[in-house]
Amino acid sequence: EPEVTQTPSHQVTQMGQEVILRCVPISNHLYFYWYRQILGQKVEFLVSFYNNEISEKSEIFDDQFSVERPDGSNFTLKIRSTKLEDSAMYFCASSRGTGGAFFGQGTRLTVV
Amino acid sequence: TQLLEQSPQFLSIQEGENLTVYCNSSSVFSSLQWYRQEPGEGPVLLVTVVTGGEVKKLKRLTFQFGDARKDSSLHITAAQPGDTGLYLCAGEGGRSNYQLIWGAGTKLIIKP
Nearest CB neighbour to A99, from listed B31, B35, B97: B31
Per-residue pLDDT at B95: 58
- Hey, what CATH topology would domain A5-95 get? Immunoglobulin-like (2.60.40)
Nearest CA in chain A to B105: A42
Q: Which of A97, B26, A37 is nearest to A46 (CA)?
A: A37
Q: How far is B45 from chain A (nearest CA, A)?
A: 7
Q: Where are the domains of chain A?
A: 5-95
Neighbours of A87 (CB within 10 A): 18
Residue B97 in this model has a pLDDT that exceeds 70: no
Over residues A20-70, the pLDDT tens digits come to 999 999 998 989 999 999 988 888 989 999 988 998 899 999 999 999 998
Nearest to B98 among A55, A89, A91 (CB): A55
Chain A hits for B41, Cβ within 8 Å: 105-106
pLDDT score for B2: 67
| pLDDT mean across residues, chain B | 92
Q: Which amino acid makes up residue B107?
A: K
B70 band by pLDDT with thresholds 50, 70 and 90: very high
Please tell me the total count of domains within chain B.
1
Which residues in chain A are closer than 8 Å to B99, comparing Cβ atoms?
Answer: 45, 48, 56, 58
* pLDDT at residue B98 tops 70: no
Segments forming the whole domain that contains residue B88? 5-111
Across residues A6-28, what is the average pLDDT?
96
Q: Is pLDDT at B9 greater than 90 in this prediction? A: yes
pLDDT at position B94 over 70: no
Partner-chain residue, chosen from B40, B48, B102, that has the shortest CB–CB distance to A43 = B102
CA B29 to chain A, closest CA, distance in angstroms equals: 12
Q: B94: domain CATH number?
A: 2.60.40.10
Taking an 8 Å cut-off on Cβ atoms, the answer to whether B40 and A106 are in contact is yes
Q: Which residues of B touch A89 (CB under 8 A)?
A: 40
pLDDT for B39 equals 85
Residue A64 one-letter amino acid: Q
* A25/B108 Cα distance (integer angstroms): 29
CA distance B80 to A68: 42
Q: For residue B105, which residues of chain A lie inside 8 Å, CB to CB?
A: 42
Rounded Cα gap, residues A110 and A80, in angstroms:
15
Rounded to whole angstroms, the Cα distance separating A6 from B26 reads 35
Minimal Cα–Cα distance from B79 to chain A, Å?
A: 24
Question: Quick check: bond before A8 cis, omega within 30?
Answer: yes
